[in-house]
A and B are shown apart, each in its own frame.
Chain A
Amino acid sequence: MQCKDFESVLASEGFGLLPAEAREHLDACARCKEFLADIDSIVAVARTLPAEVAPPDRLWISLRAQLEAEGLIKEQVGTTEHASWWENLVVWFRPRSLATAGAALILAVTVAFLTHTRNRNVAEQAAPPTVAGNPQLAGSENTSAPEETHLTGSGKSSAPGPPPSRVKELKPSPSENASTTLSETELDVSNMQLAGGNGNAKVDASLRQNLRTLNEFIAECEQHLRKHPKDELAREYLNMAYQQKADLLAAMMESGRSEH
């Protein structure tokens, strides 16, 4: 038997019992002895390696958050359930920039649309017949609270709201929609950050601190607007805060993406 034949036997028969002819060759051949020793040591080292490690739960949460942010799935973020169809799909989203860009775009468009819609509603409220004829165009935030009595000094802003019975039929106001959308996105971002885990601490701390600042400010403005729904300055600041929050959440997504 030649060395080449011995290697073939080893490849086909494995490391178990070698045929007699192969063992005879091994006894006589120093090269093959060395070769077999190398193989043995590799196998020994390989056996010391840990078994394949399952991905951590936080990874699935992060992927789910991305898919929800993109609108591909719409579920409550829960605990890990492996091997569903979408989990296999997320392999295609490994470059997180794709998911992040998509989510940020959706967020920006949503906020811009809602803000625009709200502004249009305010403008249309100035024309009483249109508002009365189309209650869906009137923001409910302007009708759910009692009418301000001291705002009619110029006589231009006293547009009557729709009848109380119709108020209940109104869809949620754009501001409420923006608030809800942003809150959902904030939850997704929190999940992504939990999943990321190893971000730049200083940057993350600043982003989170500023998110808290914005949330407090938004809550303050919203509370004020519930009492004074026609306070345009407060609404202007609320819309600016919404826009800033959308930008901040996009930055937080970007920060999460940069970590990986």
Chain B
Amino acid sequence: MNSSLLLSIVTFVYCLAAFLYIAAWVFKKKELAVAATWVTIAALIGNVAGMGMRWHESYQIGDGSYGHAPLSNLYESLVFFAATIALIYLVVEYRYKNRTLGAFVMPIAFLCMAYASFGTMNKIQPLIPALKSNWLIAHVITCFFGYAAFAISFGVSLIFLFKDRFQDKNKDTGRSFLPSVALLEELTHQMVTFGFLFLTIGIITGAVWANSAWGSYWTWDPKETWSLITWFVYASLLHARFARGWGGQRIAYLSIIGFMAVLFTYFGVNYLPGLHSYGSV
């Protein structure tokens, strides 16, 4: 058993969880949703265990010189991303006592893992000198907590729009199983604020790290610029909400736009030249 195998299995467990959540929502079966929660917990445990194993494995090769926390390339970051999504989702599910959201969130975690397992190179590589810093760990963890919260707010916004559109017509379908519009709005806001705080810390730790490695905290590297753009999108969302009292649909659209910016920051930027290392697929 090695970490790659375990994480491949975890991919399918996430798939099962997503499938169960969707089934529970469509057929309105609470038992399925409860099962989905447990499957998600199992997947998360497997996910974290897989990362732990990978960490350990990195010390077994190259006379230990490769050893590093599994947060240094695209594969490792996707695996971590899936774990943060699952973790935050479970907390939300627990706090808001609603299990339908999983139908929209777990597929994202599954897609992350699927992309990681089948679309990227998962060999353990040694760290280049620039990445050898504790700031790397702080930076990646905070950024991905932010991204994961944004991913969930994206899922929630989708449900919101979906519900908003179809609510009045055919009332008695699976949709009534969805949380109330007010709760969805609240959740979007909670996730955006949580994500924003972490994105802020993520950008800041990145800047501090850059300052210790290259001597300037901001160099307009495309990834930095795009993370700033993302930050601006969410800041606009917050201003629209706080200062102008926007709500509902418009906030939902903004949160979707924000998540698109997140995705571009994460993947799209790799097609531009820069310092960040997740480019190597």
Check if A and B associate.
Answer: no
